[in-house]
């Protein structure tokens, strides 16, 4: 799909906006390792999609060992509405790139996925947006359901769709409002600790490899 003049279907992935959520980096690394592998599914994905990945949105917070904030004390995931090029440069750059792609008729932004880690919940799960259009809302539920069928550690029952005011400045909420009905925006959460396989009660600890 990189032929001259061909439409690009883009999947945009971001991670580590909260520096203390280290599992998000392992998930992001796993995605990158898979996409550049010789696996036949990875080959098909590369043939049909363009993946743009910003694996660490808060590098200064990670370097300093902060849990949630940047060097200047900002929770970057509450500043998507109007990021400052001076105070929130990584957010500003990513947002400008996404808007540029959105305005390009040759680019279709299919998915935006922001990877986080959760300190109290188990398993992997997602947050999605709520829309007045019921058909759009139903279509948005398909991807988490597919994940649940294909990943033993993913929980659809823990997945939720919301539009809480406190989440208004997050990437998922902002881009869900900006992009049109053909785009899907999610927060992907993965537990710090472990997951429970359906039908059992035993917790399986996450490892770096898993």
Q: Say how far apart CA 205 and CA 123 lie, in whole Å.
A: 10
Going by C-alpha positions, the residue among 21, 12, 117, 120 that lies closest to residue 61 is 21
Burial class (CB in 10 A: 0-12, 13-18, 19+), 129: buried
Give the catalytic positions in this structure.
189
Going by C-alpha positions, the residue among 12, 20, 120 that lies closest to residue 70 is 20
Sequence-separated (6 or more) residues with CB below 8 Å from residue 88: 70, 74, 76, 79
Beta bridge partners of 160: 127
The distance of Cα 193 from the centroid of its chain, to the nearest Å, equals 19
Q: What is the spatial order of strands in the sheet that 124-129 belongs to?
A: 50-54, 8-15, 107-118, 184-191, 124-129, 160-162
Q: Are 129 and 176 in contact (CB under 8 A)?
A: yes
Q: What is the DSSP letter of 75?
A: -
């Amino acid at each position: 799909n990189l032929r001259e003049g061909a439409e690009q279907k883009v999947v945009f992935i971001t991670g580590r906006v909260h520096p203390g959520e280290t599992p998000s980096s392992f998930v992001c690394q796993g995605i990158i390792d898979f996409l550049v592998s010789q696996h036949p599914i990875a080959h098909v994905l590369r043939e049909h999609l363009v993946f743009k990945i910003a694996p660490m949105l808060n590098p200064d917070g990670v370097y300093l060992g902060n849990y949630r904030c940047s060097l200047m004390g900002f929770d970057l995931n509450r500043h998507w509405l109007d990021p400052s090029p001076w105070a929130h440069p990584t957010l500003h750059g990513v947002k400008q790139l996404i808007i540029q792609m959105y305005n390009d008729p040759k680019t279709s932004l299919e998915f935006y996925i922001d990877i986080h880690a959760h300190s109290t919940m188990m398993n992997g799960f997602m947050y999605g947006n709520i829309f007045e259009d019921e058909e759009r809302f139903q279509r948005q539920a398909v991807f988490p359901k597919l994940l649940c069928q294909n990943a033993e550690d993913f929980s659809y029952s823990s997945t939720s769709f919301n539009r809480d005011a406190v989440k208004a400045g997050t990437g998922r909420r902002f881009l869900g409002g900006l992009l049109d009905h053909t785009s899907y925006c999610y927060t992907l959460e993965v537990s710090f600790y472990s997951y429970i396989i359906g039908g059992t009660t035993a917790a399986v600890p996450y490892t770096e490899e898993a």
